[in-house]
Amino acid sequence: MTGESHPKIHGRGNKRLDNVLDFVAFAAKPMPLVTLLDEAPRRIADIFEAEVCSLYLVESGHDLVMRGNVGFSPAAIGQVRLHIGEGMTGEAVEYLRPVSSDLAPEDAAYKAFDGLGEERYPVFLAVPVRGKIGPLGALVVQRGRSSFADRDIELLATLGAVIAAGIRHAELIDARRERALTRKAGGGTRKVTLTGRPFVGGRAIGAIAALRRPAARKSEARGDADVRGDSRRLRGAFDVAGKAIRALADRAKVMALGEQAGFLATYVEILGDARFRERADEFVADRAGIPNALNRVAREVTRTAASMTRDAFLEERARDVEDLCDALVMLAAVDKRAELPSGAVLVGDALSVFDLLISARAHPVAVALTDRGGPRTQTLLRLFDVPAVVGVEGLFRWASDGDVALVDADHGLLVINPSKSEVSALREYKRAREGVEF
């Protein structure tokens, strides 16, 4: 009589198997997209003993954007971008098949990125992450030596399928799915995630507030007492603006922004221009009121610039004067209802010095812009020094004043009406990074 056979229970001790089972248990749980982006690459790198693991997402229907990574600089996240079909990763997504190489930098399809240092990890494997109607992204692992075996390719493809479920649940807005989602009646939205480019790292949550300028005001009759009050408030506004601009210029020097912050010197010069102040005082004394007085000064400068033959310097100076006049109006305003709420997530197309003088007084927690930002906007964002995401597509289609938004400027995401789990994940992030509750 033969003895009974007993099944073998594979207990812990096989590192690869343990890591795979731990990953499956992790991925089976509902979680915020940011948790998936942070944890999945780290766990997969451990499984494959790879120095690098990257998670790319398909955005705008045809772009692949690195949204999760371990092994490269955090600055690569949200910045490394490919078209589907471009590079070895793009080929994996285009053909929906794995792509591998033992010496990727010498492959004809290889796409190099300056400063990334990929050449240190030439052993390369990319697999597509498939969705119901097409690719959702790609998983890439890289290491310095030791080829990926067939079993590695099979396993990574399987793990990509596990990750797909988490990505689908994230409500990531792109061109393919945008039409299927609509805003709720009354101005709110369902929870959606918009993508952009990280600029100043960090994460924060707050109510959305659109960047704004002074409202147009009708001319009002001004009595002697009004004129005296206007003159006093205008002088105070000039003093406050002058101190603030000089402080920003000093801060830019400390941050070693150099020529990038050179435009601040123009604002210092304008505020120190005696004729500029005199004209504003004259219009106020003429009972124009502060908004109208500064508007007339700005128009004079604009007309002077327009009378010149394409003088780029004067045209830019006219725009700076207009921006500064808007700031002076707000600094001198008696009615504070036009000011931004405190602790908001500021959204807009671009930043100007006005925003550093006025919007910054509300102590915003983050900034999201539709524009990718030229050199000036980029410098202003650095001086703002709050988490910032730029190039956010669909921002004004989905975001309204008062909506709660979570800005993840580590990955380049803006989550409108975040879930409780996403807010909880942000709390954990704050505890880990700052040791304080928000």
Letter string b/e over residues 419-433, b meaning 16 or more CB atoms within 10 A of that residue's CB:
eeebeebbeebbeee
Question: Which residues lie closer than 8 Å to 78 by C-beta, 6 or more apart?
Answer: 65, 66, 67, 195, 196, 197, 198, 411, 412
Token pair, residue 184, equals: 């709720």
Q: Which long-range contacts (CB under 8 A, 24 or more apart) does 182-188 make?
A: 183/398, 187/400, 187/402, 187/403, 188/400, 188/403, 188/417
Share of the chain above pLDDT 70, in %: 89
How far is residue 182's CA from residue 190's CA, in Å, rounded to a whole number? 8
* pLDDT for position 3: 64
Instruction: Provide φ and ψ at 326, rounded to 5°.
Output: -60, -40
Same domain for 347 and 207, yes or no, is yes
| Degrees to nearest 5, angle at CA 33 with 27 and 37 | 75
How far is residue 326's CA from residue 213's CA, in Å, rounded to a whole number? 7
Q: What is the pTM of this model?
A: 0.84
The residue type at 336:
K
At 30, the pLDDT band (50, 70, 90 cuts) reads confident
* pLDDT for position 431: 85
| Degrees to nearest 5, angle at CA 174 with 173 and 175 | 135
Residue 128 carries which DSSP code? E
Q: Please give the C-alpha separations between residue 284 and each of 239, 240, 289, 336, 413, in angstroms, as whole numbers.
A: 17, 18, 5, 20, 46
Token pair, residue 5, equals: 């056979």
Range among 145-149, 191-195, 348-352, 397-401 with highest mean pLDDT value: 145-149
Where among 322, 337, 352 does a domain terminate? Answer: 337
Token pair, residue 244, equals: 């603030």
Helix (H) or strand (E) holding 307: helix 290-307
Token pair, residue 123, equals: 């052993």
3-state SS assignment for residue 196 = coil
* pLDDT for position 189: 58
Q: How do strand 63-70 and strand 81-83 relate by DSSP bridges?
A: antiparallel
What are the pLDDT digits (tens) for 155-164?
999 999 999 9
Where among 313, 337, 361 does a domain terminate? Answer: 337
Same domain for 255 and 369, yes or no, is no
Helix (H) or strand (E) holding 207: strand 203-210
- Residue 384 lies inside a defined structural domain of this protein: yes
- Residue 56 lies inside a defined structural domain of this protein: yes
Task: Supply the range of the domain harboring residue 197.
Answer: 178-212+340-434
139 and 159 Cβ atoms separated by less than 8 Å:
yes
Domain count for the chain? 3
Same domain for 191 and 307, yes or no, is no
How far is residue 57's CA from residue 55's CA, in Å, rounded to a whole number? 7
User: For position 203, which CATH number holds?
Assistant: 3.50.30.10
Same domain for 28 and 69, yes or no, is yes
Mean pLDDT of all residues in 377-403: 92
248 and 383 Cβ atoms separated by less than 8 Å:
yes
Same domain for 370 and 303, yes or no, is no
- Residue 6 lies inside a defined structural domain of this protein: no
- Residue 142 lies inside a defined structural domain of this protein: yes
Mean pLDDT of all residues in 289-304: 84
- Residue 263 lies inside a defined structural domain of this protein: yes
Instruction: Provide φ and ψ at 104, rounded to 5°.
Output: -55, -40
**pLDDT, greater one: 436 or 160:** 160
| Degrees to nearest 5, angle at CA 409 with 407 and 415 | 30
Q: Which long-range contacts (CB under 8 A, 24 or more apart) does 111-117 make?
A: 111/82, 111/86, 111/87, 113/76, 113/80, 115/73, 116/72, 116/73, 116/76, 116/80, 117/72
- Residue 143 lies inside a defined structural domain of this protein: yes
* pLDDT for position 64: 96
- Residue 241 lies inside a defined structural domain of this protein: yes
The answer to whether residue 310 scores a pLDDT higher than 60 is yes
* pLDDT for position 172: 59
The answer to whether residue 335 scores a pLDDT higher than 70 is no
For the residues of 129-154, what is the DSSP string, one character each? EE-SSSEEEEEEEEESSSPPPHHHHH
How far is residue 80's CA from residue 103's CA, in Å, rounded to a whole number? 20
Same domain for 36 and 144, yes or no, is yes
* pLDDT for position 239: 93
140 beta partners: 54, 126
For the residues of 18-60, what is the DSSP string, one character each? HHHHHHHHHHTS---HHHHHHHHHHHHHHHHT-SEEEEEEEET
Same domain for 297 and 410, yes or no, is no
Share of the chain above pLDDT 90, in %: 51
* pLDDT for position 95: 95
Same domain for 317 and 352, yes or no, is no
User: For position 80, which CATH number holds?
Assistant: 3.30.450.40
What are the pLDDT digits (tens) for 95-104?
999 999 999 9
What are the pLDDT digits (tens) for 9-19?
888 888 999 99
Same domain for 133 and 189, yes or no, is no
Same domain for 125 and 199, yes or no, is no
Same domain for 190 and 255, yes or no, is no
The answer to whether residue 183 scores a pLDDT higher than 80 is no
* pLDDT for position 356: 87
Bin 287: left if φ > 0, else alpha if -120 < ψ < 50, else beta: left
Please choose, from the candidates 318, 301, 325, 300, the residue with its C-alpha nearest in 3D space to the C-alpha of residue 213.
Answer: 325
Q: How far is CA 331 from the centre of its chain?
A: 28
What are the pLDDT digits (tens) for 45-72?
999 999 999 999 999 888 999 999 999 9
- Residue 115 lies inside a defined structural domain of this protein: yes
Euclidean distance between the first and the last CA atom of the chain, given in angstroms as a whole number:
70
Mean pLDDT of all residues in 191-203: 92
At 185, the pLDDT band (50, 70, 90 cuts) reads very low
Same domain for 160 and 33, yes or no, is yes
* pLDDT for position 118: 92
How far is residue 69's CA from residue 80's CA, in Å, rounded to a whole number? 11
